[in-house]
Structure 1
């Protein structure tokens, strides 16, 4: 059992007292609060799920997941851990810079009571399951530099965010997805702890334009591989290589519309102030979209939706728009 947190504030005395008051207030309630209705597929287990196992056994539940661009094996599934952990050897094999770690002084306390301090926290995209019954979500790991037979630990924060159900008898995890119930099993193979995701190769579509490339699956048979390459090269005109290649899309094909009730005016968000690096990225992106007439300048004195800057894996910025408050008034009125 591992107790800890990804933030320093959660380990403060004030935070612990607040949490204790919250737990006590729940215990004193004499009624069960109504839970929101959740439309998720029913998750069940059967003896068929244990077809690959030889009983009896007392094995731990560990699985393989994709962390970023790497297939990560021997990941322990631990319902007793209050945090997600990535061990430093696996962190090093993923070639992530130490500078990306967010400092945290929250200690981890194990079963023996010994405190271990992490090197920092890092948020990485994690994919679990087989397509199309798979999910991808960002997971914040605490990076710990100590010996372990595992490469990472998935604790309650991630299992709860996946709405996952674990069963040690079957050594399997099941979780709801948009396309039914996904699962990942504990099938151990002799392999490296972390290995880069392979199976794609860069294909040059036009010899006179070296930047016009796409990726193709290398696991396909040679005839299918060659036929697909020929097809892509013959139809390269359907690719949009830049914003200028998309002068406009007919509304009968696709249109993006904000579903806002006209009887409830949008909320004006508080204007955010960005750092110089993010500010430059915003200006560059807006100018690029204005040049191809994707955007036009308008003035809304009673409405403001801030942009949100998200750093991509290649170090560049992705600009999104925060529309969270569009229906806030409507929701408040409904409450």
Structure 2
């Protein structure tokens, strides 16, 4: 149960019992609940006492019912039909959800301002990192010591400066002994086996194939595109096609460090990929994580 729902029900923190075990899968870190409370839940003509863990997190939902309640109710849910059926002394009863409300919740959950669409992790009481490609010694929260590889200033490890002599020697020996598995850039990882990682686009076969009109590149962008394409071709990350069914333009964006990032305008391709307007699968993952499935 989310704390906002707990407050709207008229309860205060004095009603909570201690709950010392954490919950996972809400964010990058374990989330410790404020406490727990047992409340009766009325579904149709049946009432079951359910123990809720109260967490203080932002959410579009009021609470999440876990599998324990479903098993107690002997209920059969259908996310596709937004329907819950369960047996009672009077026969089979059912509770219907709202397709419109489900779609609205999904759209609100996925709608973000453009300026917030940044891949970053914020840790409480710690400054967030503005750029992941900054200098490691400036981003670290502790003092670091640089270990160069064969005197090459571009290849080095950063280890904690507070390690004792034995720990430092063991760590350096381990890193140097496994130096062959380290890739210093994406261009040192040629031809990754598809069994390791593979990405596919869920393109609707009914959509029209779109070939974008060619756009002129700004002065200086052409050399950056050619260099990036040549490097990707050398490592086998991309291949040339003669008769493309989809054709998108190249977009060049300047990084904070002054270099260029080469991207692809996939706007039309994204529109051809159907979206799932039901966020219930996300709830199922949260329930499974809390139930240790």
Tell me which interval the TM-score lies in, with the shorter structure as reference length.
0.3 to 0.5
Structure whose CA Rg is larger: 2
More strand by share: 1
More helix by share: 2
Q: TM-score, normalised by structure 2?
A: 0.43
Q: TM-score, normalised by structure 1?
A: 0.38
